[in-house]
Amino acid sequence: MKTNEKERVAIVTGGSRGIGRAIAERLAADGQSVVIAYANNDAEADKTVRFIEENGGKASAIKTDISDETAVSTLFKMTEKIYGGVDVVVNSAGIIRLDTVANFDLNTLDQIIRTNIRGTFVVNQQAARLVRSGGAIINLSTSVKKLALPTYAAYSASKGAVDAISLVLAKELRGRDITVNAVAPGPTATELFFEGKDDETIERMAKMNPIERLGKPEDIAEVISSLAGPARWINGQTIYVNGGMI
């Protein structure tokens, strides 16, 4: 059954901080009930839920390892139990580790693969089974894939897989009236982005786009909001949200 816009229910993985939090807050402001799936930080998840509720929205937080199929199945079942179904799934959870190909630690590579590739696959698998007609599945990719920046090989490769999963799933859901897209942010002003970067590097990356500023989490959330609601004719795409950087 296709649901009314005001009754839509969204799951946002990685929704307690950074871009994921901005997405959760925006979807709640749009009138969607939001379930925030998070890995570890109870305090930040609770803070996000409180913010949404204090602003008139509905939200819950569920601790979830997105690479664990049992945990993700539980996430979807609990969402259905609390809110009656699932209409929108935004997979923004992911990890980034940087080093050259020659020096990259293979155990760290395995962690990236498990979270960014397996995690995306597992979340999308449950979404493909349970998202209601009229719904949307949105995966967070990255613009850095096209820049070929040194030290980004492992992260870029994992996000290339995210694009592939998204575009194939869009075709597999033919006839279901469910859109599937990937959104690829450029450099965005989050705690994760600033970590380990000096001022010169931040300034240089901010000026890589013609608007000459870093993205804000709200810039990404604006695009997600459209894909999660009214933008029903955008499907099977990777959308670059980076101020014209590439």
pLDDT digits (tens, 9 = 90+) for 166-201: 999 999 999 999 999 999 999 999 988 888 889 999
Instruction: With CA atoms as reference, report the closest residue to 232 among 141, 136, 91, 163.
Output: 136
For 27-57, the pLDDT digits (tens) are 999 999 999 999 999 999 999 999 999 999 9
Q: Mind telling me the catalytic residues?
A: 155
For 122-141, the pLDDT digits (tens) are 999 999 999 999 999 999 99
Nearest 5°: CA angle at 227, between 38 and 133?
Answer: 90
Record the pTM.
0.95
Instruction: With CA atoms as reference, report the closest residue to 123 among 72, 59, 165.
Output: 72
Write the CB contacts of 18 (distance below 8 Å, at least 6 apart in sequence): 188, 190, 191, 192, 217
Which token pair is 135?
A: 């719904």
Q: Please, are residues 37 and 65 in contact by the beta-carbon 8 Å criterion?
A: no
**Class of the CATH-defined domain 5-184+217-241:** alpha beta
Q: Please, are residues 200 and 155 in contact by the beta-carbon 8 Å criterion?
A: no
3-class secondary structure, 213: coil
- pLDDT for residue 74 is more than 70: yes
Q: Would you list the domain boundaries of the chain?
A: 5-184+217-241
- pLDDT for residue 232 is more than 50: yes
Which residues, listed in sequence order, are joined to residue 62 by a DSSP beta bridge? 37
